[in-house]
Amino acid sequence: FESGVLAGVSVVITAGPTREAIDPVRYITNHSSGKMGYALAEAARDAGARVTLISGPVTLQPPERVKLVRVNSALDMLQAAESELEHCEIFIASAAVADYRPATVAEQKMKKSGDEMSIELVKNPDIVATVAAHTPHPFTVGFAAETQDVEHYARGKLASKNLDMIVANDVSRKDIGFNSDNNAATVYWPEGQQTFDTMNKHLLARELVAILASRFSAN
């Protein structure tokens, strides 16, 4: 992209997994590496944006010249996102937020007893949908990891979450996605779409920033 396409624009990005506590020593999480979100933070920064990266626990190096807000749970991530909203012009939700969390967090380490146990889970709030439900709301970009009917499900989420753009990828492909350094994606917005073939996540992040900058300024 041309440098400066996002000059002075405030961008907030969620990245990585969330961790949902069961007790003081245990949690539920997922395999998200945070690579795509961190690459987007660097690409947006290089395009001139003021970037806040709200990150779940990952092992990546914090990007330079980016404000990093570290969180653990989905509830913490939502609170961090809402407190950044006042100045946010573009919100990008790349985090793999846990859909459910334990209904209660045990205060003490849970002891083993019977051969079976169960943990009651309750639904987490949808962070990107909550952001997009604000009036006014930032230009809001979501991700959709799908294993089938990618366009159908991605366009469904674009509409149901009130997003301006969605980046969809096929996670049934073994060569790309989640923990990989590479990714391929199709970007959908209400009036169009564009496909990017498999490439390094840093290159893809730059392509995504270029297209979102052009959609953002057309808005």
Among 1, 38, 139, 143, binds ligand C5P (CB under 6 A): 143
If you count them, how many residues does the chain have? 219
Cα distance between residue 169 and residue 127, in whole Å: 20
CA separation for the pair 114, 137 (Å, rounded) = 49
Query: Is residue 157 a known part of a binding site?
Result: yes
Q: How far is the CB of 98 from ligand C5P (least distance, A)?
A: 7
> What are phi and psi for residue 117, nearest 5 degrees?
-150, 160
Neighbours of 144 (CB within 10 A): 23
DSSP 152-172: HHHHHHHHHTT-SEEEEEETT
Q: Which stretch binds ligand C5P (CB under 6 A): 142-150, 168-176, 181-189, 196-204?
A: 142-150
Query: Token digits for 23?
Result: 């007790």
* Binding to ligand C5P in span 56-75, by CB under 6 A: 74
Q: How far is the CB of 70 from ligand C5P (least distance, A)?
A: 17
CB of 4 to ligand C5P, least distance (A): 26
Measure Cα distances from 126 to 148, 179, 187 in Å: 22, 23, 20
95 lines the binding site for ligand C5P (CB under 6 A): yes
93 and 16 Cβ atoms separated by less than 8 Å = no
Specify the residue, 38 or 48, whose C-beta has the smaller distance to ligand C5P. Answer: 38
Regarding 127 and contact with ligand C5P (CB under 6 A), the answer is yes
Tell me which of 56, 63, 138, 142 binds ligand C5P, using CB under 6 A.
142
53 part of the interface to ligand C5P, by CB under 6 A:
no
Instruction: Give CA separation, 5 vs 100, 164, 175, 210, in Å.
Output: 37, 18, 31, 7
Tokens 């990714």 found at:
183
Segment interacting with ligand C5P (CB under 6 A) among 61-69, 88-96, 114-122, 193-201:
88-96
What are the backbone dihedrals phi and psi of residue 31, each rounded to the nearest 5 degrees, phi first?
A: -90, 10
Which window, 24-32, 40-48, 108-116, 139-147, contacts ligand C5P (CB under 6 A)? Answer: 139-147
Q: Is 10 a binder of ligand C5P (CB under 6 A)?
A: no
CB of 107 to ligand C5P, least distance (A): 25
DSSP strand pairing (67-70 vs 20-23): unpaired
67 is in an annotated binding site: no
219 carries an active-site annotation: no
Q: Does the footprint of ligand C5P cover residue 157 (CB under 6 A)?
A: yes
Enumerate the active-site residues: 30
Residues near ligand C5P (CB under 6 A) are 14, 74, 93-95, 97, 124, 126-128, 142-144, 157
